[in-house]
Chain A
Amino acid sequence: MNEPKSIRVAYGESLAEIGSKNSKVVVLDADLAHATMTNIFSEKFPERFFNFGIAEANMICAAAGFAHSGLIPFVSTFALFGAGRGYEQIRNSIAYVNANVKFGLSHSGLTVGEDGGSHQSIEDIALMRVIPNMTIFVPCDPIETKKAVYAATEINGPVYIRTARPICKNITDEMTPYIPGKANILKEGSDIALLTTGIMVSKALEAAKELENQHISTAVVNFHTIKPIDEECILEMANKCKALVSVEEHSIIGGLGSAIAEVIAGKSSIKFARIGINDKFGKSGKPEQLLKQYGLSVNNIINTCKTILL
């Protein structure tokens, strides 16, 4: 898993790998197996793969039925159609009972690109975060995706794994710790801390490099788990640095930035800025063009950090 590949491909490969070790793992998809890459699993384990057609609500409730029967279903579709359309099914038939269902939902964020705003899920973390019993993982690279799939299988209860479409290099390696609920400090720093997740981790690291060139000591923290959020790490950064900046490919409302704000509220007076999609819908475009236009660029991270430190 060292070559650059899409997180969704890593997800499909990881399912196939864990499927060979655990016969309880079954995979459900909704006519998107060739987009979510669950076809890698279905080719290997056709008897454990169930395509529900374009009927996400039924797929999600059926997953509860599988879980109630002692199996570990991984439900896969686009993030918008799972977390969005299936929200109430997830809430009532799965999380409310703490059913052991895993969601590997792909094509999150703006980087779906050309499909446009109708397909770009920029609210899914917010939707999943308010549901009790839900664990939320947002992998930053292919290696972390595999770890998320394995960790999800070990958790008894619903887990949401938010995956993305772009091809990306590995930032972490096999030896990087992956403890659910424990953020990873990728780079230490004392002036400012970039608290980030998913595909924005690599951009935060790039921004940190440039900030260091400009003599701003910058920490970078990867929140591979959004829920439960690592409160200890956030407060540690708030004590150590002069400012915090959250960076995520999600609405600034309800995502990582909101989770951090909820932690520091009443506990720290640190300066805090959030970088995310500023309460707007997405639109068609090349992924990189969209990221730039919506403020999810290395330059904007650098500028935001410099402004908040003034």
Chain B
Amino acid sequence: MNIGEQYEKATQLREDILHMVYKSQSGHIGGSFSCLEILMALYYNVINVDSKNPHWEDRDRVILSKGHACPALYAILADLGFFSREDLWNLRQIDSHLQGHPDMNKTLGVDVNTGSLGQGVSVAGGMAMAAKYKKKNYQVFAIIGDGEVQEGLVWEAAMSAAHFHLDNLTVILDYNGLQLDGFNAEIMDISNIMEKYRAFGFECYEADGHNIEEIVKKVKKPHNGKPKFICCHTHKGYGVSFMEDNVDWHGKAPNKSQYVQAMKELGVDIHE
């Protein structure tokens, strides 16, 4: 799939995310839309995984530490054949294998349970350490949210990643500027994030978080013996005008008319 096709795919995946959250009337659209291209950059261009052999020992690992954005991950995993696309419509429903936050024991392709913020990036560090001890070459990627970095655990993880020279770990920040209660800058300021990670000993890069080519380019930059940090500038709710940069869409499901309107903006006309 070339890059042009990947942007068409992004639109299709946004439709899937919207539809699954609408169907279940529960889930986080805003954060799913903001990190979609980051996940696509990894899954469609960088990492080695095999949907026919999901527990392949040498696979690269992707940990969605901001686990509430799992609709984006589920849409991609379905597209890659880890499970049926039809399963997406059972998101968050009882007995569904697609839990409200990722569950590695229920969903094929999910590498780590996440959802309790801060923990995923720390588990990723442990996986990267284990890879070194076992002399394995796989890479570990952790995607964190900008509200999530307010957790102390994120900084404990950063400190240890640098200390243990985890040049097989890449932390990618989905920096959309919003969290549940409002703007990061007003709730708990995380400005100068690049300087913060640099000070902790990371190799740091910035990217437009909705530009797949640019993210891929930064992911492929050298580690120089250090863990890598990529700050991706994104928009919450990206792709649907009334959701974009709007904190109301952190964890809300659309009603019928909002769903129809959002689908229309994504190129699908739904007749009521």
Taking beta carbons and an 8 Å cutoff, which residues of A are in contact with B? 26, 47-48, 50, 52-53, 55, 57-58, 61-66, 68-71, 73, 88-89, 92-93, 96-98
Contacts of A70 in B (CB 8 A): 57, 130, 134
Question: With the chains together, A44 CA to B122 CA distance in Å?
Answer: 27
Beta-carbon nearest neighbor of B134 in chain A: A69
User: CB distance A68 to B160 under 8 Å?
Assistant: no
Contact partner, A61, options B115, B157, B159, B163, Cβ 8 Å: B157
Contacts of A55 in B (CB 8 A): 156, 159-160
With A55-B159, A57-B152, A93-B123 already in contact, the answer to whether A71 and B105 are too (CB < 8 A) is: no
Contacts of B156 in A (CB 8 A): 52, 55, 57-58
Q: Is the interface of A mostly helix, strand, loop or mixed?
A: helix
Beta-carbon nearest neighbor of A26 in chain B: B133
Of B57, B113, B122, B134, most buried by chain A (CB within 10 Å of CB) is B122
User: CB distance B123 to A62 under 8 Å?
Assistant: yes
Contact partner, A65, options B57, B118, B127, Cβ 8 Å: B127
User: CB distance B111 to A68 under 8 Å?
Assistant: yes
Chain A nearest Cβ from B149, distance in angstroms: 14
Contact partner, B128, options A48, A53, A64, A65, Cβ 8 Å: A65
User: CB distance B129 to A66 under 8 Å?
Assistant: yes
Asked if B116 CB lies within 8 Å of chain A CBs, one says yes
- Given contact pairs A47-B133, A93-B119, A93-B123, enumerate 5 new A-B contacts (beta carbons under 8 Å): A63-B126, A64-B112, A65-B130, A73-B126, A97-B113
Chain A nearest Cβ from B261, distance in angstroms: 36
User: CB distance A58 to B133 under 8 Å?
Assistant: no
Across the A-B interface, give the 6 residue pairs with the lowest CB-CB distance, nearest first. A65-B126, A62-B126, A69-B130, A61-B122, A58-B156, A65-B127
B interface residue count range (under 10 / 10 to 19 / 20 to 34 / 35 or more): 20 to 34
Contacts of B152 in A (CB 8 A): 57
Beta-carbon nearest neighbor of A63 in chain B: B126
Contacts of B159 in A (CB 8 A): 53, 55, 58
Asked if B78 CB lies within 8 Å of chain A CBs, one says no
User: CB distance B122 to A92 under 8 Å?
Assistant: no
Question: With the chains together, A93 CA to B136 CA distance in Å?
Answer: 23
Asked if B124 CB lies within 8 Å of chain A CBs, one says yes
Contacts of A63 in B (CB 8 A): 126
Chain B nearest Cβ from A22, distance in angstroms: 14
Chain A nearest Cβ from B159, distance in angstroms: 7
Beta-carbon nearest neighbor of B111 in chain A: A68
Contacts of A61 in B (CB 8 A): 119, 122-123, 125-126, 153, 157
Beta-carbon nearest neighbor of A88 in chain B: B116
User: CB distance B129 to A62 under 8 Å?
Assistant: yes
Question: With the chains together, A66 CA to B128 CA distance in Å?
Answer: 8
User: CB distance B129 to A64 under 8 Å?
Assistant: no
- Interface 0/1 of B98-125, CB less than 8 Å to A: 0000011100000111011011001111
User: CB distance B119 to A71 under 8 Å?
Assistant: no
Chain A nearest Cβ from B66, distance in angstroms: 14
User: CB distance B133 to A48 under 8 Å?
Assistant: yes
- Interface 0/1 of B128-171, CB less than 8 Å to A: 11110110100000000000000011001101100110000000
Chain A nearest Cβ from B107, distance in angstroms: 12
Question: With the chains together, A71 CA to B126 CA distance in Å?
Answer: 11
